[in-house]
Structure 1
Amino acid sequence: MRTEPALMRERLFPRCRQTVRSAREFTAETLDAWDRTARLDDVLLCVSELATNALRHGVPPGRGYRVRLLAYEDGGVRVEVHDSGPGLSRIRLGGGRGLAIVAAVADRWGAVPRSPGKAVWCETDR
């Protein structure tokens, strides 16, 4: 089990498709500042998929989504995308491929309920 994160940064993004690019840029800038770029491409792919999933399925009109980044002492990185939509995210047969991509690229992923909504997260090891 991981210890408490050493670093944390988050940003709220409005409900707009163009913010997926902004979420990737925020992530790239943050991981560069933290010197956590060993798996940058994997993390950026996960951010793209999780943010897109939140926009398509979890962000009601007039709301936004939050990207939270955490860095651990062991070099690992956690990405969380929080939205206020109902239900928990899961991989669906015949559905989109976003979460299947996250599951393939990240070392771990999951979803936890919040009030309102949920947080979908993934972690990459060093």
Structure 2
Amino acid sequence: MTAVSAAGFSVATLFRMDMPGGDSPASEGGAVTDIAVRALGPRRDSVKAARDFAADTLARWGAAQLSDDLSLVVSELVTNALCHGVAGGPGGGDDPGAGTVGHPVQLALLRKGMRVMCAVQDPGEGLPAPRDPGDGAETGRGLHIVECFSSSWGWFPLTGVAGRTGKVVWAMFRIPGQ
């Protein structure tokens, strides 16, 4: 098992998920084989750092064929976390990190069997909900993209988890050809 946990992401949190359609990491036989976690600061360049981390991690795991789809979803989830889950995030004000310190957003990748899950944790209380952005809108399509490119997605609040606030938004992928 490979674990990179500089961010302090609670890996046990990943197993709280009850995903539809048998996509739960606990529902697939065998042990978790790989976990990688990356802490992200409240800056615009964190989105690129998250994509690069995801692509590099998938290459190390021999699942590079997922790189395009998973990197796109990671971009959307991290952007949403920064814009909606972090006060003063890149979506508001001149200073993208105003009012925040440290690494408020964390990306975790978990591989078990033929599945890879990405999970983005942020301190925000707002819950993710797909919107109908309408024609010509430049924003509001992120969760639709997540839904289209992953096999399933969801979220859960971190209330009741010791020392944690906010939520985790996750997306599940099946490794093709395996």
Shorter chain as normaliser: what TM range?
A: over 0.9
CA deviation after TM superposition for structure 1 residue 47, in Å = 0.4
Q: Residue 76 of structure 2 aligns to which amino acid in structure 1?
A: E
Specify which of 151, 154, 158 is matched with residue 107 of structure 1.
151
TM-score normalised according to structure 2 size = 0.66
Q: Would you say how many aligned residue pairs link Structure 1 and Structure 2?
A: 125
Of 88-97 and 23-32, deviating more is: 88-97
Matched, 1:51 2:89: no
Q: Residue in 2 aligned with 1:35? A: 62
Matched, 1:92 2:155: no
Of 114-123 and 92-101, deviating more is: 92-101
Q: Report the structure number with the largest CA radius of gyration.
A: 2
Q: Secondary structure at the match of 1:71?
A: strand
- 1:3-33 Cα offsets, whole Å, 9 max, x none, are 5522101011100011100000111111111
CA deviation after TM superposition for structure 1 residue 87, in Å = 2.4
Please give the root-mean-square deviation of Cα atoms over the aligned residues, in Å: 1.4
Q: Residue in 2 aligned with 1:71? A: 111
Counterparts of 1:5 and 1:120, CA distance in 2: 19
Q: Structure 2 regions of 5+ residues with no counterpart?
A: 1-26, 88-98, 134-138, 159-163
CA deviation after TM superposition for structure 1 residue 59, in Å = 1.4
Does the 8 A contact of 2:155 with 2:169 survive in 1? yes
Q: Secondary structure at the match of 1:79?
A: strand
Q: Residue 97 of structure 1 aligns to which amino acid in structure 2?
A: R
Counterparts of 1:43 and 1:107, CA distance in 2: 11
Does the 8 A contact of 2:84 with 2:126 survive in 1? no
Q: Residue 77 of structure 1 aligns to which amino acid in structure 2?
A: V
Sequence identity percentage: 37
Identify which of structures 1 and 2 has the higher relative contact order when contacts are C-alpha pairs closer than 8 Å and 6+ apart. 1
CA deviation after TM superposition for structure 1 residue 49, in Å = 0.4
Q: Residue 170 of structure 2 aligns to which amino acid in structure 1?
A: W
Q: Residue 79 of structure 2 aligns to which amino acid in structure 1?
A: T
Of 5-14 and 91-100, deviating more is: 91-100
